[in-house]
Chains A and B, each alone.
Chain A
């Protein structure tokens, strides 16, 4: 049944969000720490198990795949509901601070890529 897949997906998200929120409370922060990430790991673990035991049927798969496939449309809707007008009326401090932090972080991607590669190579040896 298609709903089984969607229900598995939604349950993973809820458990992940709850765990992330509890993590936040534990360290005294008013934010969700990694809830979505935890949910992703859960979904991978749960679906792996279902495949291994042969209980993952094609309709169940499609109940998850649909949501994965509407990802881009959801992101377009997200873009259309951003506060773009305020962002550019916020003044030059906001624009310069936002742009420069993006540029700095873009530049760091290849740098950290190299550091990490050395680290994991060492672990392999």
Chain B
């Protein structure tokens, strides 16, 4: 047995430990980079998230798998650490110490932002699909659903009986959206007034993608995370509810 094999054996067997160690190193590197090179203008967590996405791209290219870096067996623990279970646990923990009033104040605009977010994403997605030559209501609604989130898209497509090719496009649109929200949010935060709990709740409701909102707000200001996450968590449910019903009927009458 050579040294590399032994190393791999240990790293794979203790995959979650490996993940915490590797992610810790990545974050240390990003924060050092942020302090030294970017002069603190680009937040350390934003750099870390960008690096994570870069790793994910490499992982996908090397393995052809669907889970980014975690498809490499040595890094499979990263998939567990960054999966829905730990993500949701950490998101809920961020609510600790938050005052209830803050949520109550944003109640109305929170609901409004959810509805606006779902409808606008569906219609923008459907309009783009239309521009690219899709004409049937099922494909238009499914791709529109993908522009909402990568869960709403396939759920809508499944309910309407869309083709596998359209479903794949829909998932890809949702992935692009989530990556864009993660990377662009810290840069546009100033322009869109994303600096208080109320606007964070509106932001969460409009964007909807839990991973995008979680990453985007973490890179902007971690104190805003619980507010954005709160509304975003209702988005996928609302999207799956309205997509194959109200929105499909609307799109069918339009085309």
By DSSP majority rule, is chain B's interface helix, strand, loop, or mixed?
helix
Closest CB of chain B to A68's CB: distance in Å?
Answer: 4
Task: Give the distance in Å from the alpha carbon of A88 to the alpha carbon of B181 in the complex.
Answer: 15
Interface flags for B172-193 (1: CB within 8 Å of A; 0: not) read: 1111111111101000100011
B148 and A101 form a contact (CB under 8 A) = yes
For chain A, the count of residues having a C-beta within 8 Å of the partner chain is 79
- B206 to chain A: which residues have CB within 8 Å? 105-106, 108-109, 112
Q: Once the chains bind, are B82 and A97 in contact (CB under 8 Å)?
A: no
Interface residues of B in 73-130 (CB under 8 A from A): 75, 78-79, 81-83, 86-100, 103, 105-106, 108-110, 112-113, 116-117, 120-121, 124-125, 128-129
Are A113 and B124 touching (Cβ within 8 A)?
no
Q: Mark A89-105, 1 if CB is under 8 A from B, else 0.
A: 11111111111111011
Binds A, one of B2-10, B33-41, B224-232, B246-254: B224-232
Q: Closest approach, in angstroms, between the C-beta of B36 and any C-beta of chain A?
A: 19
Q: Which residues of A contact B178 (CB under 8 A)?
A: 82
In the assembled complex, the Cα of A102 lies from the Cα of B206 at a distance in Å of: 9
Q: Are B60 and A85 in contact (CB under 8 A)?
A: yes
Q: 0/1 per residue, A31-73, Cβ < 8 Å to B?
A: 1111111011101110110000000000000001111101111
Question: Cβ of B193 and Cβ of A88 under 8 Å apart?
Answer: no
Contact B53 A93 (CB under 8 A): no
User: Is A2 in the interface zone, CB < 8 Å from B?
Assistant: no
Give Cα distance in the complex from A20 to B210, angstroms.
15
| Bound CA–CA A35/B97 (angstroms) | 19
Given A73-B23, A100-B124, are A68 and B108 also a contact pair (CB < 8 Å)? no
From known contacts A113-B199, A116-B112, infer whether A72 and B60 are also in contact, taking CB-CB under 8 Å.
no
In the complex, what distance in Å separates the CA atom of A35 from the CA atom of B230?
A: 10
Who on chain B is nearest to A48 by CB? B100
The distance from the CB of A48 to the nearest CB of chain B, in whole angstroms, is: 7
- Nearest CB in chain A to that of B30: its residue: A76
Enumerate 6 A-B pairs (CB-CB under 8 Å) in ascending A order: A31-B237, A44-B98, A65-B96, A76-B82, A90-B175, A109-B192
